[in-house]
Amino acid sequence: MSDRFFSSQPITVERVTLDGPEAHHLLHVMRAKVGERVTLFDGSGAEFDAEIVMCNRADVEVRVDARRDVDRELKFDLVVGVSLPKGDRQKWLVEKLTELGVAELVPLETERGVAQSTDSALERLERSVIEAAKQCGRNRLMRVAKPQAWAEWACAEEVESNTRRFIAHPDGVSIATLDLAAPRATRLAIGSEGGFTSAEVSTAVAAGWQSVNLGERILRVETAAVALAAVVALAARP
C-alpha cells in the first residue's frame, strides 16, 4: 500500500494538516499511528519526508522534516484530448494517462460524443488523478481541463508552431512509421466510440494535424488514448 499522501495546500511550513480523503485513508485504511513516517507531495514537483505527530477524528497532523525535488515528468509537454467514454472507463483512462506522464487531459465535445462532462464528473476525475499520482510516484498532477468544443481546441491559435499534433483515425498513416524520438511538445486527439466524423477530421487536417492509425483492430476510446499516449511518451529519447 502506498505511503505517499497528497496535500491540497502548498507545503511551506513545518506542520501540515491532512484532511478529507487523505486523512480518511490514513486513519481508517492504514490505521496510522503517531510516530509513523509518510511521504507527502503537493503537486509542486517535490516530495516531503514527514512524521505523524497527531491523529484526530477527521484529520492528521504531520511534521515535515525534509524536502526533495524529484522530477519524474516527461521531458516534453504531452496533452491528450479525448471524447470521454462513459462510466468507470473514464477513471481507468485517467489513471493510465497519469501513469504515462501526460501533462493535461482535455475532455472533447464531438459530434458523436456520448459522455457529459459535468462539474461533479470532473471532480471525480481529478480525484482519480491524485490516486494515480500517489501510486506511480508523480509529484505533479495531470491537469484535467474544462470540456472544449472540438473545432475550438483543434484550431487553437495559442499552440506553439513546433508542437506535434496527431489525430487518431483509421485512414491515417501508421503511428509506427513516424520518428518520435525528438522530445517535442505533442497534442493527441481521440474521438468517441464512433470516431471523428469526416468533417471533424477535415477540420483537424486543415489546422495542421496529422492523421495517424493504431493498427488493424478497432480500439475502444480509452484503449486508443492510452496506446497512442504510450507510443509517444516511450518513443522519446531521454
* Torsion angle of the four alpha carbons 54, 60, 65, 70, in this order, in degrees rounded to the nearest 10: 160
pLDDT for 237 equals 76
pLDDT for 2 equals 53
Q: What domains lie within the chain, and their CATH numbers?
A: 4-69 (2.40.240.20), 78-235 (3.40.1280.10)
Split at pLDDT 50, 70, 90, the class of 1 is very low
Cell numbers 497527531 correspond to what residue? 54
- Summarize the confidence of residues 207-227 as an average pLDDT: 95
Q: Does residue 215 come out as left (phi exceeding 0), alpha (psi in the -120 to 50 range) or beta?
A: left
Q: What does the pLDDT look like over 142-155, one tens digit per residue? A: 999 999 999 999 99
Q: What does the pLDDT look like over 42-73, one tens digit per residue? A: 999 999 999 999 999 999 999 999 999 999 99
**Cα–Cα distance list, 178 to 161, 164, 174, 212, 222 (Å):** 19, 11, 7, 9, 22
Q: What pTM does this model have?
A: 0.93
Taking the C-alpha atoms of residue 234 and residue 230, their distance in angstroms, rounded to an integer, is 6
Q: What does the pLDDT look like over 118-131, one tens digit per residue? A: 888 889 999 999 99
The three cell numbers locating residue 54? 497527531
Percent of the chain with pLDDT over 90: 87
- Summarize the confidence of residues 195-217 as an average pLDDT: 94
pLDDT for 145 equals 95
Q: Do 153 and 108 meet the contact criterion of CB atoms below 8 Å apart? A: yes
- Summarize the confidence of residues 79-105 as an average pLDDT: 96
Split at pLDDT 50, 70, 90, the class of 157 is confident
**Residue 158 or residue 31, greater confidence:** 31
